[in-house]
Amino acid sequence: MIKTRNSFTLLKELIKTSFKMRYQNSVLGVLWVLIKPYATFIVLFLIWSRIRQNDDVEFFSLYLLTGIIFYTYITEMVTLGMMSLLDKAGIILKVNFPRQIAVIASQFNALINLVINMLLIVIFILANNIQVTLGGLAYFIFLTISAFIACLGISFFFSIVSIRFRDLKNIVDLGFFLLYWLTPIFFTLSSFPLGSGGVMSYILKYNPVGILINQVRAALGVYGTIDVEKGIIFFLGSLIIFILGWSFFNKRIKRVAEYF
């Protein structure tokens, strides 16, 4: 059908435009995609490589880098997705194009940033002489896609809610700021005495972003072991979030133009 083909064109053009716009008129341009996580990495590395003790991390630089890059990936997907309809208000009020495209395009922009950042990870993997197995690579792709599906579902939900409820952006920003400290990005779960129980240990243990990041590390042979069961539960959870977000979006989108 013509309509689906146009949707692809539109998706392509929207991704292209926002990619171009993001680093328009900046001297370093696309390099900024690398600079931000890498600068965070350097600071955390300098501090934590001295403080950390008694952990079982062999490749700390890669442990840290994968944590930072995947956490950034999740944050970008959700924040860009949340603002995707509001940012396109001017077009939405004038042309009836499939609104889903605007949300999906924002997710691809985050994915592109992840792919660029993966180059750094590849360099570190080669430098540390880590052997990534074919199965590990497949598991890594499976995890990345699962995360994409989950964030897309959340974005579908948030993009609608944020139109009427503008506080959402601040709430999400705060949420991600707090989650940062509850996710094993620079520390390991094993360095905490989890056996004591309590709310904190519970959150640390079942934080889905933490589970994702640790499985990614395992898939790349950086740290820990692959637990396919966790991966599959994560994927199924992502699928449920996606279906919920998608149906919420489709129910509300028809009237969305009235609320801008």
Partner 1 sequence: MNDIAVSIKNLNKSFFIADNKKDTLRSLVVSLFNQGKSKPFHALKNIHLDIKKGEFIGIIGRNGSGKSTLLKVIAGIYSPDKGGEVTVNGRMVPFLELGVGFNPELSGRENIFLNGAILGLTTKEIKKRYNDIVEFSELGDFIHTPVKNYSSGMKVRLAFSIAIQTDADIYILDEILGVGDGAFRSKSIGVINKLIEQGKTVIYVSHSLGSVQKYCNRVVWLNQGEVIFDGDTRTGIDQYRQSLLEIEKLQKAEEEKYDRVDNDIVVSKVRAEIIKDYDLSIRAAIQNKKLVQNYNLKFSLTRDDDLLIYETTSNFSNISNLVECDSVYLTLKNLNLSEGDYYVDVAVLDENNDKVLFMDKRSTVFHIERSEVDNKDRGLLTLDKSWDIQKYISKN
* Interacting residues toward partner 1 by CB under 8 A: 2-3, 5-6, 8-10, 12-14, 16-17, 20-21, 24-25, 88, 90-97, 164-167, 254-255, 257-258
Minimum distance, C-beta of residue 174 to partner 1, in the bound complex (Å) = 12
Minimum distance, C-beta of residue 243 to partner 1, in the bound complex (Å) = 23
Burial 222-246 (b: 16+ CB within 10 A, else e): bbbebeeebbeebbebbeebbeebb
Minimum distance, C-beta of residue 242 to partner 1, in the bound complex (Å) = 25
**Ordered alpha helix ranges (H), the chain:** 2-22, 31-51, 60-87, 89-92, 100-127, 134-164, 168-181, 198-206, 208-219, 228-252
Q: Which is nearer to partner 1, 101 or 209 (CB)?
A: 101
Minimum distance, C-beta of residue 134 to partner 1, in the bound complex (Å) = 35
Single-letter amino acid code for the residue at 101: I
Minimum distance, C-beta of residue 24 to partner 1, in the bound complex (Å) = 5
Distance of alpha carbon 87 from alpha carbon 102, whole angstroms: 9
Q: Which is nearer to partner 1, 164 or 205 (CB)?
A: 164
Q: Which is nearer to partner 1, 50 or 254 (CB)?
A: 254
Minimum distance, C-beta of residue 141 to partner 1, in the bound complex (Å) = 27
Contacts of 244 (CB under 8 A, 6+ apart): 153, 157
Q: Which is nearer to partner 1, 165 or 202 (CB)?
A: 165
Distances (CA, A) of 101 to 13, 19, 138, 198: 10, 15, 27, 43
Single-letter amino acid code for the residue at 90: G
Q: Which is nearer to partner 1, 106 or 146 (CB)?
A: 106
The CA-to-CA distance between both ends of the chain, in Å, stands at 31
The answer to whether 190 touches 56, Cβ cutoff 8 Å, is: yes
Grouping H, G, I as helix, E, B as strand and the rest as coil, residue 190 is helix
Q: Which is nearer to partner 1, 5 or 50 (CB)?
A: 5
Distance of alpha carbon 234 from alpha carbon 149, whole angstroms: 11
- Phi first, then psi, for residue 59 (nearest 5°) are -110, 80
Q: Which is nearer to partner 1, 101 or 220 (CB)?
A: 101
